[in-house]
Amino acid sequence: MCDIPSLYQSEIDQDNFNEDLKKLVEKFQIVSDHIASWEYWLNAKGEFVYISPWCEKLSGYTPEEFFNDRELIMNIIHPNDRWLLRQHINENSMSEETASIEFRIINRNGEVIWVNHTCQSVYSREGIFLGRRVSNRDITEYKVLEIKLKEAEERWQFALEGSGDGVWDWNLKTNAVFYSKQYKSMLGYDDHEFINTFEEWKKRIHPEDLSWVMKEFERHISGKTSYLSLEYRLRCKDGSYKWIFSRGKVITYDTDSKPIRIVGTQADITDRKKAEETVMNIMMENKKLLNKTIEYDRMKTEFFSNISHEFKTPLNVILGTLQLLLLLLKEVPLRKIRDKFERKLMLMKQNCYRLLRLINNLIDMTKIDSGYLEMELDNYDIIDVIKNITLSIQDYVENKRITLTFNSSIPERVIACDPDKIERILLNLLSNAIKFTNTGGKIEINITEEDKMLLIAVKDTGIGIPANKLPYIFDRFAQVDKSLTRNHEGSGIGLTIVKSLVELHHGTVSVKSAHGGGSEFIVRLPIHVFQKEHNSVEARDNSNNNHVEKISIEFSDIYSHGKLSIKDGIK
């Protein structure tokens, strides 16, 4: 039989192989010669070894004709069903389980006969494939009745089930399509406005859905799907689109089972689709929120891990230095070790400043969260405030051999601000710039005006910030370098406080940076003043010890890896 794969292997003992199959066929032949079924056996090569006499009654051909012409068995199968049989053989060629399929054959007289085809692969006790046993039983009368009943049942069933929805009936021969009144009304059309053709229906399908919808109809018509179930969009009379759920089934009227029409229903599911989209959007938002919460918890865990390091390091330095000084005082008079004693005291003071800076940041962050951070706003010349801050840190910058420049496009500008908070903002940004700018680098402070806003830009030529870190640079607990062995100390909350202090001035802060290309932080403050009786401008004294100590505290991280001196501001 053609299209049956040959399983014959050259190493098998052919004599024993045929003998085992012969014994099986002889036992089976006693019964099969007298039953109303066309039985036959094939060997491992796909050759006939037995054909029952009933084959002539069913097909009109004698067993001898089948033995003489191997192609005859496939040629009598209905052309539309041959692919089905080939698929069946390929899927069950090696199975010992009985497999069944229904298809049509055309007998010698040209009559179409439905048969129930069952097959089973046969193996020897040693597991050698011997061949296949096949049985074909005439089910034409039953099949014709079944088709007619199904034809009537399906047509009326779909019409009745779809009575509340739209009903359609597509004639495959004429391409005319019947649409029920509900179908047309669903799309906003009156009965006389609808063109009942297949081509007009295609034009109403959404362009994004047309291709796959047509492929599904083609698959159903060709028999590859037993039922049509689609969700797609159709254009309404007003040009909008509705989501519809369409169901359909091929109907056949003759024994040839050739599809001649498809009957189906459709329902408006636009509201359901919108609800699904809403639910999906909510799920996506919840997922984003969950991921953000998880990331926030991770950053918070890293923050507390880092901050414990920030507390321990200066405490260990202070404790170790105290222990050393106590030992020295016991062994050597103070006058002989004055210089060494002074250096150790300065080291302790610097680390006290580091602890104080960290504690101040934590306290300020708590006050900002609770809304208790006090703002002492008044009218000040912001240019003068920033210039004095810049001059006050000149020694720190020169100590690291970094060039610091101050530029302002305007000589003076009075705005309502809290100078202590402005100082805190600038010192934090400048300390970051100094920490991350190598020796020989540059730091610029530029002041300009734009759209009633004062722009304060702190630009450096430092190591820069990676692009993937920029969106989180002002987030609480975020750090560009999260390891405990960073090149520079810091808790990672300074920029968060900067952002909060700027926002308390009703301003904004942003950053431009590229990894290895330096950074530029831009503070935007609104230009407005308090209306006073004399419109006075407050003056500030930036030379007092309190101001120096603020700088020492804010810059306490910068010199943790370098030499200390009185000139560094630790007095």
35: CATH? 3.30.450.20
Is 471 within the bounds of a domain?
A: yes
- Give me the pLDDT at residue 61, please: 93
Let me know: does 124 contact 20? Beta carbons within 8 Å: yes
The CATH number of residue 428's host domain is 3.30.565.10
Consecutive 10-residue averages of pLDDT for the chain (571 residues): 32 51 68 75 85 88 90 91 87 78 92 90 83 88 79 60 69 81 83 79 90 89 84 90 88 70 84 86 86 73 61 69 68 68 72 74 74 84 91 81 91 91 89 88 93 93 87 69 44 79 93 89 92 55 57 65 38 31
Q: Answer positive or negative: Cα dihedral of 328, 330, 336, 338.
A: positive
Domain identity same for 351 and 217: no
Domain identity same for 126 and 75: yes
Domain identity same for 125 and 163: no
- Give me the pLDDT at residue 13, please: 42
Measured CA to CA in angstroms, residue 64 lies from 26, 49, 50, 70, 256 at distances of: 18, 11, 10, 11, 29
- Cα 88 to chain centroid distance, Å, stands at 40
In 3-state terms, the chain is what percent helix, strand and coil (to 5)? 45, 20, 30
Q: How many CB atoms lie within 10 A of CB 224?
A: 9
Q: What is the pTM of this model?
A: 0.42
Strand pairing category for 129-138 and 112-123: antiparallel
Total domain count, the chain = 3
Final residue of a domain: which of 211, 243, 268? 268
* Domain span including residue 127: 14-138
Domain identity same for 169 and 250: yes
Is 291 within the bounds of a domain?
A: no
Domain identity same for 484 and 542: yes
| CA-angle at 552, arms to 548 and 556, nearest 5° | 175
Q: What is the pLDDT of residues 131-163, one digit of tens each?
A: 888 889 888 888 887 777 677 656 655 654 455
Residue with tokens 């802060």: 509
Domain identity same for 191 and 111: no
DSSP letter, residue 358: H
Domain identity same for 24 and 152: no
Q: How many CB atoms lie within 10 A of CB 216?
A: 18
Helix (H) / strand (E) containing 363: helix 338-370
Final residue of a domain: which of 75, 110, 138? 138
Is 331 within the bounds of a domain?
A: no
Is 320 within the bounds of a domain?
A: no
Domain identity same for 72 and 164: no
Q: What is the pLDDT of residues 47-93, one digit of tens each?
A: 888 888 888 888 999 989 998 988 898 899 999 999 888 888 888 77
Domain identity same for 510 and 554: yes
Domain identity same for 61 and 41: yes
Is 126 within the bounds of a domain?
A: yes
Domain identity same for 106 and 160: no
Domain identity same for 558 and 418: yes
Final residue of a domain: which of 103, 119, 138? 138
> What span, in angstroms and rounded, lies between the C-alpha atoms of 442 and 88?
80
